[in-house]
Amino acid sequence: MLSVSYAKIHFNEENTPVSEQFDDVYFSNQDGLAETDYVFLQGNQLWQRWLSHKYTHFVIAETGFGTGLNFFAVTALFRQFRAQHPNAVLKRLFMLSFEKYPLKPTSLAQAHRAYPQFSELSERLQYYWPLPIKGCQRIHFAETTLDLWFGDVAENLPQLGDYMHEKVDAWFLDGFAPSKNPDMWNENLYRQIYRFTKPNGTFATFSAASAVRKGLESAGFAVTKRKGFGKKRECLNGQKINSTPNELFLPWYLPQPARMEKQDVAIIGGGIASLCTAIALLKRGANITLYCEDEQLALNASGNKQGAFYPQLSDDNELTMRFYIHAFAYGRQLLNWATEQGVEFEHEFCGVALCGYDEKNANKLAKIAQLDLPAELFEMLNADQLSKKVGLPLHCGGGFIARGAWLAPRQFVQNTFALLEKYGAKIKTSQSITALLQTQNGWQLRNVQNEQINHEVVVLANGYKITDFTQTKKLPLYPIRGQVSQIPTSENLLKLKSVLCYDGYLTPVDQAKASHCIGASHVRDNTDRHFSAQEQRDNQQKLQRNIAEPWTEDVNTSDNLARIGVRCSVRDLAPMVGNVPNFIQQQEDYHNLFNLRRRRQSIKNADNFPNLFLIAALGSRGLTSAPLSGEMLGSLIYGEPMPLGEALIHNLAANRAWIRKWLKGSEVK
């Protein structure tokens, strides 16, 4: 199951929320906010530590998000700190909060009424409150980033993975009392907490139970008793004194941050992948220079007039599907951010219909329905129900994604980049980068004019041309030509209310009420960008064959209006995001990986090209996958918590195809 259960609660006479699963209050009846301040903020000595913090970000992890009161309190405190100390090294706060039973939005809103001073934070949290899906879901609050991990902490906490070894500065050990929630408070939890805590990192908890104290001491913490809050006699806090060896479980996938002094980053490419990476990096203070080989941005795969925004739901690969579900939620947040910033682009949150147009696809959609996803994400409908959503008659049922949309990709990319230029991004068009040379301080870029340009960090986001470099030529990527047809509207087609997906897609009419897009062709290993009359006819015939309804006869591609783009893809259809792997060195280190593991011999960490990263293989789902991929890459480059669990991060690793073969004892050519 991919979803989680909502909390069952009621509010007592003091209007304090009470869990029916655990028969315990969410916070003190006496004064929940004062309890948070005393137990967690003072218990971890946050203000004093922020004053002397030597890094740009600080990480707090929490067991039990509950109503979010701890999050509100620490965010408010951090804003006070930033206002009083604007020149402090510390700029950003991360909070990783684990919650097994999230509140329903209505209960969340009721609980927040008691704290009107947090109304701004509350409104944003409620607006972006995630659907009850397992895993990590990231929400931004200016200087503070909240990662909500829904599901059992015993499953989710290990998903911080090798990458987060000794990266957490402080812990709020909240959740319900050990006597009420014994499944959470156990030896495994304490060991995991210790593993992820920085040397000199701290914890604080309201509990003073002897089993908790002994468990934390046994894990390695120095534990101190202090006076409890209110009627509680005692509570605990403590510190990790010693560093622990980083015993990696999967060293061949270890993500490795950049080493930077000037925060100088070059991005090669000019589409949606480049844009989303640039946004993530600029928000972190990077100095961005973009190199685009075309005379304008978004002229290749990101240049269509209309594109669909929805998650790739498939029963083929659960990890990839989970990534797309999280990417879809995060992408909606980015689109809203752009709108809030005044970026103009055509779009409509009209929903996306997935047609079960033949037996194979109907069975596939039926399997997705068995995952019991929230109705806002996927709802299985019969032919009549789906026809009402779409606005036109259909002969088949299918799935409906209510939060899906269409948008104008070229407008979005070009206009958002114009905004980023105002924030300091430098954009250089007609700049074809032909080679990369590693230097002592980063990378030297060479363009077609044989000019040499130096940067600390390089991000490759140039689509199917990503393998043109010596460092990337062994990556198993390939180009796919796609022709999207633009057709005039009609009296019938004007009735289309949602994006219609079959073995292709048809968009509702554009905002000018003039045209629709249908497509796209799919020609592997073809980089030709010239118009194809045959593909134009195929786009029309495919729709009329899959959706055999009279209204499809209005679809007419004879005007020969079309756009051709070349997408970048990979066999397993998951994006590639992260470090660029050094194939020659990894082949030497891992060609015998099967036997190294069997014999339990030492295995080296992944050898990657330092300060060289990529975002690739977005295929036909770049509008959905690029926002979260760019945020993940920005987090990795800066060594911050990433917005995905370890299993999903590994599923995006650029060396995954090689590793899968080496783990089986197979040869990689």
CA dist 534 and 158 (Å) reads: 52
Q: 551 and 460, same structural domain?
A: no
Q: 520 and 451, same structural domain?
A: no
Share of the chain above pLDDT 90, in %: 88
| pLDDT score at 669 | 84
Q: 576 and 563, same structural domain?
A: no
| pLDDT score at 57 | 98
Angle at 266 between CA 261 and CA 272, to 5 degrees: 130
- The two tokens of residue 592 are 């015998």
Angle at 358 between CA 357 and CA 360, to 5 degrees: 125
Q: 222 and 156, same structural domain?
A: yes
Residue 27 forms part of a structural domain: yes
Query: Rounded mean pLDDT of 451-479?
Result: 97
Higher pLDDT, 46 or 242: 46
Q: 542 and 518, same structural domain?
A: yes
Residue 595 forms part of a structural domain: no
| pLDDT score at 230 | 80
Higher pLDDT, 432 or 242: 432
CATH number of the domain encompassing residue 235: 3.40.50.150
Q: 101 and 210, same structural domain?
A: yes
Query: Rounded mean pLDDT of 250-260?
Result: 97
Q: 439 and 555, same structural domain?
A: no
User: Worst-scoring range by mean pLDDT, 4-8, 16-20, 278-282?
Assistant: 16-20
Share of the chain above pLDDT 70, in %: 98
User: pLDDT by residue (tens digit) across 203-229?
Assistant: 999 998 899 999 999 999 999 999 988
CA dist 326 and 336 (Å) reads: 16
Block residue for tokens 């293989």: 617
Residue 74 forms part of a structural domain: yes
The model's confidence at residue 28, banded by pLDDT at 50, 70 and 90, is low
| pLDDT score at 16 | 75
Which of 402, 424, 439 delimits the end of a domain?
A: 402
User: pLDDT by residue (tens digit) across 316-336?
Assistant: 789 999 999 999 999 999 999
Residue 98 forms part of a structural domain: yes
Residue 594 forms part of a structural domain: no
pLDDT above 80 for 21: no
Q: What is the pTM of this model?
A: 0.96
Residue 229 forms part of a structural domain: yes
| pLDDT score at 176 | 65
**CB-CB neighbours of 97 under 10 Å:** 22
Residue 589 forms part of a structural domain: no
Which of 375, 402, 429 delimits the end of a domain?
A: 402
Q: 137 and 41, same structural domain?
A: yes
| pLDDT score at 173 | 94
Q: 64 and 189, same structural domain?
A: yes
3-state helix, strand, coil in the chain (%, to 5): 35, 25, 40
User: pLDDT by residue (tens digit) across 48-103?
Assistant: 999 999 999 999 999 999 999 999 999 999 999 999 999 999 999 999 999 999 99
Residue 126 forms part of a structural domain: yes
Which of 545, 570, 595 delimits the end of a domain?
A: 570
Q: How many domains does the chain have?
A: 4
Supply the range of the domain harboring residue 98. 9-247
Q: 95 and 31, same structural domain?
A: yes
CATH number of the domain encompassing residue 294: 3.50.50.60
CATH number of the domain encompassing residue 483: 3.30.9.10
Mention every residue, 6+ apart, whose C-beta is less than 8 A from residue 557. 485, 487, 518, 536, 537, 539, 540
Q: What is the mean pLDDT of the chain?
A: 94
Q: 631 and 494, same structural domain?
A: no
Q: 210 and 174, same structural domain?
A: yes
The model's confidence at residue 304, banded by pLDDT at 50, 70 and 90, is very high
Query: Rounded mean pLDDT of 148-163?
Result: 97
Cβ proximity of 423 and 327 under 8 Å? no
Tell the burial category of 560 from Cβ atoms under 10 Å away from its Cβ (0-12, 13-18, 19+).
exposed
